[in-house]
């Protein structure tokens, strides 16, 4: 373990004098990336100079950096842009100080509980470090390292570039870059009413900042959609949209090529390594469709009289239409569904929905039905050839709940198939699925709903 590094009398590298961001904008994607835009007023001398720009993200991708003057881009050029990640740990600091003269605190040979200070040159930042002292090389116990001066060190993530200024010394500099470690996700809460056919839906955005940058008073934009990031490519984002109006009264949604972008109406503070949650979709009353679903592989198979018992899945279908209280793009996210009880809400289940555009459908699986049971068995099996067979299925469905339940029963086949003599009307859903839509009244144990059909298949 490295001893504590004490920084006494430390002096930082001189950086851009009294320069502050006029604005900071973070466009956050769900894929652990963010597009950061700083707009900073700076005093730049005419002619050529080296510009330092501290306060950037520690996870900055140098290949994505663009620098320009938004005041007069025609009079200022920036070249030779470099990224200095800064000093974040004692190990990083020692690595940066190799070859420097330091003072090492060593145990006093005469009084071990005391220390003596010796001047030394740091040769290697190994564990323990290797020091060149006046009387030879020292490797061993030390109780601290005193750094009296560190003018050449850049302690925070910083960009530098060579500027050629042919115009005024006053410039509002725009710096744009990609950073990793920042992401957002969508979380929905759906509180069902007692009838289970309507409820209150809200949407919250959860933003995680592991980019190594404190965002203070930043404008936040969230992109919903799948955006490709080529980690090996160079980036240029000067064409990115400019900041939205600061007086926007509410969350602004804008269509972009890859999906939708949400601009939050108020500046947001997110410290490094912090996670915050902000409202994105205001509470609205929506209509939902509860139902049960069961899917089975119903291909004819060698006869067996065994009965299998299973429970259908408990489902909710959301039709994203204005008539149902929605009609807005729903970003991919986790939906937590709650039900009402006399003593308060109870979690019924949670599920993830994909990006759901207007007029599309989302289905939520909450679990398995406790009170609805399906018994399935084969009544008959007959081979019709090498790759052909016929069988008869029987399903006995029990609804022990006190209310009617709607069941969507999907029977799946392969090859060329047909259903014969069904007890209930099936509809062909696709080339492999026959769908039966049933409304199950409450039934006693000895009076189940019986579904029977014969299927003939060739494959």
> CATH code at 433?
2.60.40
Using a pLDDT cut of 70, give the percent of the chain over it. 89
Length of the chain, in residues: 459
How far apart, in whole angstroms, are the C-alpha atoms of residue 328 and residue 204?
Answer: 15
Per-residue pLDDT at 87: 79
* Per-residue pLDDT at 94: 81
The number of folded domains in the chain is: 2
Classify residue 330: in a domain, yes or no. no
Which among 374, 459, 371, 360 has a CA at the least distance from the CA of 410?
374
* pLDDT band, residue 154 (cuts 50/70/90): confident
Local confidence band at 235 (pLDDT 50, 70, 90 cut-offs): very low
Q: pLDDT confidence of 305, banded at 50, 70, 90?
A: confident
How far apart are the C-alpha atoms of 37 and 176, rounded to whole Å? 5
Per-residue pLDDT of 40-66, as tens digits, reads 999 999 999 999 999 999 999 999 999
Query: In the structure, how many helices (H) and strands (E) does the chain have?
Result: 1, 33
Say yes or no to pLDDT of 410 above 80. Answer: yes
Closest CA to 382 of 368, 374, 396, 392: 392
Burial classification of residue 135, based on how many CB atoms lie within 10 Å of its CB (0-12 exposed, 13-18 middle, 19 or more buried): exposed
**Cα(84)–Cα(12) distance, rounded to whole angstroms?**
14
Rama region for 128: left / alpha / beta (φ>0; ψ in -120 to 50; rest): beta
| Residue whose pair of structure tokens reads 């790759």 in the numeric block | 387
The token pair that represents 323 in the structure block: 């008539």
Task: Identify the domain containing residue 108 by its residue range.
Answer: 98-146
pTM above 0.75, yes or no: yes
Helix H or strand E segment including 301 = none
Q: How many CA atoms lie within 13 A of 295 on its CB side?
A: 8
Looking at residue 28, its pLDDT comes to 96
Weakest mean pLDDT among 154-168, 309-323, 410-424: 154-168
HEC states along 359-379? CCEEEEEEEECCCEEEEEEEE
Q: Is residue 396 part of a domain?
A: yes
CA distance 53 to 171: 13
Confidence of residue 242 (pLDDT cuts 50, 70, 90): very low
Q: What's the whole-number average pLDDT of the chain?
A: 88
Residue 357 C-alpha from the chain's centroid: 19
Asked, for residue 209, whether it belongs to a domain, the answer is: no
Q: Is the peptide bond before 4 cis (omega within 30 degrees of 0)?
A: no
CB 113 within 8 A of CB 122: no
Confidence bin at 304 (pLDDT 50/70/90): low
Please report which confidence band the pLDDT of residue 30 belongs to, taking 50, 70 and 90 as the band edges. confident
Averaged pLDDT for residues 442-455: 91
CA distance 54 to 212: 12
Mean pLDDT of 325-340: 95
Give yes or no for a contact between 361 and 390, defined as CB atoms under 8 angstroms apart: no
Contact 50, 160 (CB under 8 A): yes
90, 121, 146: which is the final residue of a domain? 146
Q: Report the pLDDT averaged over residues 136-156.
A: 80
Task: Identify the burial level of 63 via C-beta atoms within 10 angstroms of its C-beta, where 0-12 means exposed, 13-18 middle and 19 or more buried.
Answer: middle
Question: Is the pLDDT confidence value at 234 over 50?
Answer: no
Mean pLDDT of 435-447: 91
- Across the range 97-122, mean pLDDT stands at 87
- In the predicted model, is pLDDT for residue 441 greater than 50? yes
Q: How far is C-alpha 155 from the geometric centre of its chain's CA atoms?
A: 30
Of 77-81, 132-136, 198-202, 216-220, the range with the lowest mean pLDDT is 132-136
Is the pLDDT score of 17 beyond 60?
no
Residue 26 forms part of a structural domain: no
Q: What is the pLDDT of residue 110?
A: 86
Last residue of a domain, one of 111, 146, 181: 146
What is d(CA 409, CA 299) in angstroms, rounded to the nearest whole number? Answer: 15
Position 7 pLDDT exceeds 50? no
Last residue of a domain, one of 81, 116, 146: 146
Question: Is residue 424 a part of any domain in this protein?
Answer: yes
Task: Check: CB of residue 215 under 8 Å from CB of residue 269.
Answer: yes
- Mean pLDDT computed over 221-237: 64
Q: Which residue has the higher pLDDT, 115 or 174?
A: 174
pLDDT at 247 over 70: no
Query: Has residue 232 been placed in a domain?
Result: no
Burial-class residue 284 by CB neighbours within 10 Å (0-12, 13-18, 19+).
Answer: middle
User: For residue 228, what are its two tokens?
Assistant: 């490709």
Tell me the mean pLDDT in the region 285-293.
Answer: 97
Q: What confidence score (pLDDT) does residue 246 get?
A: 35
* Residue 229: per-residue pLDDT: 58
Q: Which residue has the higher pLDDT, 112 or 419?
A: 419
The predicted structure's pLDDT at residue 9: 32
Residue 186 domain-assigned (yes or no):
no
3-state secondary structure of 275: strand
**Residue 43 in contact with residue 170, Cβ under 8 Å?**
yes
Q: Is residue 39 part of a domain?
A: no
Do 139 and 125 contact (CB within 8 A), yes or no?
Answer: no
């Amino acid at each position: 373990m490295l001893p504590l590094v004490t920084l006494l009398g430390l002096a930082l590298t001189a950086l851009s004098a009294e320069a502050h961001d006029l604005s900071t904008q973070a466009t956050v994607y769900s894929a652990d990336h963010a597009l950061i835009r700083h707009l900073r007023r700076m005093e730049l001398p005419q002619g050529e100079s080296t510009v330092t720009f501290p306060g950037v993200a520690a996870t900055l991708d140098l290949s994505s950096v663009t620098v320009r003057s938004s005041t007069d881009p025609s009079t200022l050029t920036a070249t030779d842009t470099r990224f200095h990640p800064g000093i974040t740990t004692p190990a990083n600091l020692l690595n940066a100080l190799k070859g420097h003269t330091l003072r090492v605190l060593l145990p006093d040979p005469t009084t071990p509980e005391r220390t003596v200070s010796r001047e030394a040159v740091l040769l290697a930042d190994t564990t323990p470090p290797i020091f060149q002292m006046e009387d030879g090389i020292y490797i061993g116990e030390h109780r601290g390292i005193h750094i009296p001066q560190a003018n050449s060190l850049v302690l925070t993530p910083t960009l530098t570039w060579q500027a050629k200024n042919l115009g005024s010394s006053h410039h509002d500099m725009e710096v744009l870059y990609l950073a990793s470690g920042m992401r957002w996700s969508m979380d929905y809460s759906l509180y069902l009413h007692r009838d289970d056919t309507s409820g209150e839906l809200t949407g919250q955005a959860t933003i995680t900042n592991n980019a190594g940058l404190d965002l203070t008073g930043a404008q936040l934009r969230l992109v919903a959609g799948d955006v490709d990031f080529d980690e090996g490519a160079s980036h240029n984002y000067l064409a990115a949209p400019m900041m939205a109006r600061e007086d926007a009264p509410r969350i602004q949604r804008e269509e972009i090529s890859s999906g939708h972008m949400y601009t939050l109406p108020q500046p947001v503070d997110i410290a490094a390594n912090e996670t915050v949650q902000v409202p994105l979709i205001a509470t609205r009353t929506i209509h939902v469709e509860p139902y049960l679903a069961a899917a089975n592989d119903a291909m004819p198979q060698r006869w067996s009289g065994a009965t299998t018992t299973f429970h259908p899945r408990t489902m909710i279908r959301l039709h994203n239409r204005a008539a149902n209280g929605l009609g807005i793009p729903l970003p991919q996210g986790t939906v937590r569904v709650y039900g009402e009880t006399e003593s308060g809400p109870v979690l019924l289940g949670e599920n993830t929905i994909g990006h759901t555009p207007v007029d599309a459908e989302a289905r939520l699986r909450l679990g398995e039905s406790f009170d609805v049971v399906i018994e399935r068995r084969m009544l008959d099996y007959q081979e019709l050839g090498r790759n052909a067979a016929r069988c008869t299925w029987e399903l006995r469905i029990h609804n022990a709940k006190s209310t009617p339940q709607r069941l969507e029963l999907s029977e799946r086949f392969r090859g060329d198939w047909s259903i014969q003599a069904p007890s209930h009307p099936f509809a062909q859903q696709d080339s492999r699925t026959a769908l039966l839509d049933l409304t199950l009244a409450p039934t006693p144990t000895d009076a189940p709903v019986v579904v029977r059909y014969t299927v003939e298949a060739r494959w």
